Amino acid sequence: MFRVIEEHEQGRLGALDLGHGQVKTPVYMPVATRGAIRVAPLEQVNQIGFNLILNNTYHLVLRPGLDVLEQLGGTHRFMAWNHNVLTDSGGFQIFSLKKSRKIRHDGIEFKSPIDGSTYFFTPEFVAHAQNVIGSDIAMQLDICLGYPASTEEAKKAMDITLRWGERFLKADRIEGQKRFGIVQGGFNTQLRKESARLTAMQPFDGFAIGGLSVGEPEEMMFDLTAEVLSNLPKGAPKYMMGVGDPFQIVVLSSMGIDMFDCVQPTRHARHGWVYSWDDGPQIIVRGKHKFDHRPLQYQPQYTYSYLHHLFKAGEPMGMLIATVENLSYMADLVGKLRNAIASDTVDSLKEEIRLQWRKRIISE
Amino acid sequence: MFRVIEEHEQGRLGALDLGHGQVKTPVYMPVATRGAIRVAPLEQVNQIGFNLILNNTYHLVLRPGLDVLEQLGGTHRFMAWNHNVLTDSGGFQIFSLKKSRKIRHDGIEFKSPIDGSTYFFTPEFVAHAQNVIGSDIAMQLDICLGYPASTEEAKKAMDITLRWGERFLKADRIEGQKRFGIVQGGFNTQLRKESARLTAMQPFDGFAIGGLSVGEPEEMMFDLTAEVLSNLPKGAPKYMMGVGDPFQIVVLSSMGIDMFDCVQPTRHARHGWVYSWDDGPQIIVRGKHKFDHRPLQYQPQYTYSYLHHLFKAGEPMGMLIATVENLSYMADLVGKLRNAIASDTVDSLKEEIRLQWRKRIISE
């Protein structure tokens, strides 16, 4: 299902064969949480170069509900997306419902923020839900802590996640579906190593690193990732959950991560941060873009001036254009990254991206 | 510039030759007030079948400003729209700034709602602004009253509008631009006739009817339109401002109106009203669409169920899909209307549309 095609000093090139076509790695996966990208038509997202996107199990179970997805033929038909879908289980989202969820040894009980009704997510239910959704890659149910977290908390979350992983793998799956385990362990090196080692003993098709990029220092994230990776099987695909920062993608891929997802590029777009290869992220509402006649990099029919105007005027087309621009940048980024890996020039790409992105503080 | 191609008992087919291509009439013009359709990419709007859209002079002068449009090469380049643009002068918008505008004999003074700065719109300024914008069809500055309006008010607004029309025609224009006069006269038959007769004496390229469809009874609108039309030159194009209701479009076109514009189809879309030829307008958030597996009429890759979900979940892609659907319906409507005129079957189209639209009250 996953093949490492070329192994280089600073990363590797691979191919994931999934139910809806082959995906080249390293890959960035756009996030269509509730069955749509905010804001870009999926057809256009595919034209940009993506054939693997995310849905979120938790969100889809709450709305439209599994009954709708079952009757409508699963998420691919529902969204009109004939390419691959990875579904996160929703552990992250449920855990953040601090007040209205209860973690039990066999699952998580929580109240829907939409209508207050009670749900009970077990490893088996999450497997079932992802079967109904029709996920090409299904993620196990996990417990994802924030930063900081005590060793005790982290140990407990890790143990439960491991147990849930075993149960998840025993549940029925639809044909062709791949299942990924999730390494947890908080911010403790020993726990992270142990979690990786024990997760690796289960017959998962791939391994994700969860619970990082949640507020900890970047160096800590890189260090923990290195420890985890050295305890996971080399040949398996590795997925770093929730990372979409271009610089971090380049660094982590050179350490051996194959897959990335994050809402950041599309969220930035909605807030008027426009990515560009020349200047890095541009804050489009700034006055300097008022007369900026330069064409957008990926949609040269439009100028920065026009996009500036749309954002200043509150025209929703601005968000659409910016989203397409940022996703095009991300597709371009992983393309350049794959070329850099193949030609052993990751260092210079890393430096280029660092200069683009670190010259100013990116925040929302 | 305008040719009546076929004259039938229940309407006429025409062709407007404009600076950016020929437009078949009767035509509905989507409204891109501030240089963008809410919410659809202009490229897609053209693919749907539109080659003439509206911009609003008042809005574009306020933002981005004529200095930007001048430097960026006019609205066609700015919006990346290589087809025709009609610009309303903005009289309607300025008049509705009740508290912060002052009508003088030579123009309207008002304060920008954006930054409070003072503007003075004269017939000459509005002509100049539309030259900078690069309008293929420019509208005169007018005074547009609401309903009801006293005869005295209506007479005064009409007289000023007539004078401003004369001055507008004397101002320089860019090559190829067509200029339309606007008939006013409130809700008084005699004033409407007089306004039409006097406006018709000016060498306008076309004639618009303003100040109707502002809250008066539908029958009154139809009756006043008939009176106006009988006092305008037969061979000239007639534009009914602000009408986008499908039934009214069919009725008014059979009376001799060639052009229509209205934000209604796109505004309805943003509020989840989805037009369809089978069932008329559908309120997509209604529970009955939750499991509705029928495909959308013009985007059959999507189901009503999916669109229902997007609106319930607050996903902005819902607005985009609904907008494309409603604009497709409008393009289809005028296509069917032209066929019905050619085959003298307008009555049956009118009845079909009436049944679609009048079985429920359309309101926002």
Active site residue A344: no
Give residue A364's pLDDT.
36
What band does B92 get if pLDDT is binned at 50, 70 and 90? confident
Superfamily of domain B15-232+244-254: Queuine tRNA-ribosyltransferase-like (3.20.20.105)
A262 in contact with chain B, both atoms CB, cutoff 8 A: no
Partners of A85 in the β-ladder: A53
Give the span between the Cα atoms of A58 and A101, in whole angstroms. 13
Give residue B358's pLDDT.
78
Give the span between the Cα atoms of B199 and B163, in whole angstroms. 9
Nearest CA distance, B32 vs chain A (angstrom):
10
User: Where are any strands of DSSP class E within B93-204?
Assistant: 101-104, 107-111, 118-121, 137-139, 178-183
Residue of A nearest to B39 (CA): A317
Interfacial A residues in 62-101 facing B (CB < 8 Å): 63-64, 67-68, 71-72, 78-80
Give the span between the Cα atoms of A85 and A54, in whole angstroms. 6
Nearest CA distance, B317 vs chain A (angstrom):
6
For chain A (length 364 residues), average pLDDT per consecutive 10?
96 98 98 98 98 98 98 98 97 85 93 95 98 98 94 96 98 98 97 98 98 96 98 98 97 98 98 93 97 98 98 98 98 98 97 85 44
B41 in contact with chain A, both atoms CB, cutoff 8 A: yes
pLDDT greater than 70 at residue B361: no
Give the span between the Cα atoms of B329 and A96, in whole angstroms. 43
CATH code that applies to domain A2-262: 3.20.20.105
Mean pLDDT of chain B: 96
Of B88, B136, B142, B205, the active-site residue reads B88
Number of H helices, E strands in chain A: 14, 16
Q: Which of B275, B222, B208, B213 is nearest to B242 (CA)?
A: B213
pLDDT greater than 90 at residue B279: no
pLDDT greater than 50 at residue B330: yes
Which residues on A lie below 8 Å from B64 (Cβ)?
A: 290, 305, 308-309, 312-313
Give residue B360's pLDDT.
55
How many other CB atoms sit within 10 Å of the CB of residue B316?
Answer: 20
Which residues on A lie below 8 Å from B315 (Cβ)?
A: 34-36, 38
DSSP-derived secondary structure letter, B297: S
- Answer yes or no: are the C-beta atoms of B218 and B189 closer than 8 Å: no
Active site residue B261: yes
Residues of chain B with CATH 3.20.20.105: 15-232+244-254
Of B136, B261, B278, B292, the active-site residue reads B261
End-to-end CA distance of chain A: 37
Give residue B359's pLDDT.
65
DSSP-derived secondary structure letter, B111: E
3-state secondary structure of A208: strand
> What are the tokens at A334?
């992983």
Cα–Cα distance list, A15 to A27, A236, B113 (Å): 10, 11, 55
Give residue B2's pLDDT.
97
B231 in contact with chain A, both atoms CB, cutoff 8 A: no
3-state secondary structure of B21: strand
Question: Does the distance separating the beta carbons of B41 and A315 come in below 8 Å?
Answer: no
Amino acid identity of residue A15, one-letter, is: A
**ipTM for the whole complex:** 0.97
Nearest CA distance, B327 vs chain A (angstrom):
16
What band does B68 get if pLDDT is binned at 50, 70 and 90? very high
Give residue A232's pLDDT.
98
Q: Give the lowest-confidence range in A102-111, B56-65, B132-141, B160-169.
A: A102-111
Which carries the bigger pLDDT value, residue A176 or residue B93? Answer: A176
Question: Does the distance separating the beta carbons of B318 and A319 come in below 8 Å?
Answer: no
For residues B32-61, average pLDDT = 98
Q: Which of B190, B330, B191, B341 is nearest to B251 (CA)?
A: B341
Q: What is the pTM of this model?
A: 0.97
Closest CB from B79, B305, B306 relative to A306: B79
Residues of chain A with CATH 3.20.20.105: 2-262
Which residues on B lie below 8 Å from A320 (Cβ)?
A: 39, 41, 320
B215-273 pLDDT, tens digit per residue, is 999 999 999 999 999 999 999 999 999 999 999 999 999 999 999 999 999 999 999 99
> What are the tokens at A112?
């829907």
Q: What DSSP string describes A50-66?
A: --EEEEEHHHHHHTT-H
B127-145 pLDDT, tens digit per residue, is 999 999 999 999 999 999 9
